[in-house]
Amino acid sequence: MRASIQRSEVSGKVRAPSSKSYTHRALVCASIAEGKSRITSPLTSDDIEATLDVVRKLGVQVNLNPDGWVVLGGDLGEPRVELFCRESGATLRFMTAVCSLVRGRSKLTAGPSLQRRPIKPLVDALRELGVDCNCEGESPPVTVAGGLRGGQAEIRGDISSQFVSAILLVSSLAEEPVTLRLRTPLESKPYVMMTMDTQQRFGVKVEASKDLNVFRVKRQAYSPAEYEVEGDWSSAAFLLASGAIAGEVEILNLNPASLQADGRLLDLLKTMGARVRVAENVISVGRGELEALSTEVSDCPDLFPALSVLCSLAKGRSVISGVGRLRLKESDRVEAMTAGLRRAGITVASGADRVVIEGGRPKAAVVDPRGDHRIAMAFGLLGLACERIVVEDAECVEKSYPSFWSDLVSLGARVGLES
């Protein structure tokens, strides 16, 4: 499917989708907890369906009711088939760790893009904790045969915070207490804090050093819980940015006090000159004279695509640093954004860990998002400010935000979709 976006004026209200990150974590914790949990306001998307499919194949019963999901967890069994994680990195990383709790052998496979992303650092750390697991080179597929003994392990903190979260999610069920040390400083710290927050809601406490470089987990059982998923700042970032670019929008269902890293966008929008107002359960963003900025995104890498578009429309030269790990996402997001912006006539230079963007006037272009949901949504934003942007493979937004295009239309955006 192709999406054609033309210069538009946007206004109105949209409810932010539920958090993908919190839905993954709540579903994993509920699957491990022995008994009945209820998850209300969960996200439904391709990535979440991947996790749903895997936990069900491990014997977890999940009933998808209109008023929420009922999860009967705690009795994990050996899967009879391979566990296909689609293109969901969180599913692969979290469920690799969860399979260490399963008696018998599990094999986790992945879609083409995820097959190119690293998993070996997690596999190596699980081995240190006594788990019998292997991968092919640096990447999936992964085989796991249980045996979570516990003890001490080390892992890098600058490749994927999901490696750290995966280990924390299962450590309380190891035979011995677990101490996890990071060999390099942790990037995307808020995501690990979200993991610990979700675990605490299900009765498991993780002890962490102030710098989040050492974690200690005593043996504890998960308890069933009632869990409501808050709105997703990562997806809402594109809606908020649309107001700064092309009018004024009000976004509902966002928690201003959220642990989610991408809530930082509000401060960045203010710095750039957009009009921002925070009220109870409503965030309003209006157009302003956008100014260039210099910022670092290692703790909030998912903001990079939307922020790149904002910088391309701002007056002056912007510098975005801390982008190195973005080359290991669903696509090489640095290269994908750089190539797309250049097609639209924007001057961009990229290095190993930073991108420099000269604000300008974008021209019409056809953009390939490389199958990456956040790249597709970002160039949807760019179309609001120029003659026309055509986004190929526009359906890839279903990975995290299936209603993105229709929500943009509801705000007044001129979006045409064709097969």
Q: Is 353 a catalytic residue?
A: no
How far apart (Å, rounded) are the C-alpha atoms in residues 281 and 411?
A: 18
Residue 102 makes CB contacts below 8 A (sequence gap 6+) with 58, 76, 77, 78, 79, 144, 146
Angle at 282 between CA 291 and CA 251, to 5 degrees: 65
In total, the chain counts a number of residues equal to 419
- Beta strand spans in 48-170 (E): 61-65, 68-73, 83-84, 106-109, 133-136, 139-144, 151-155
Angle subtended at Cα 108 by Cα 1 and Cα 374, rounded to the nearest 5 degrees: 35
Which candidate, 319, 320, 336, 339, places its Cα nearest to that of 328? 336
Query: What does the DSSP 8-state code read for residue 256?
Result: T
Q: Considering only CA atoms, which of 175, 233, 182 is closest in space to residue 16?
A: 233
Q: Which of 46, 47, 262, 302 is catalytic?
A: 302
Annotated active-site positions, please?
Answer: 302
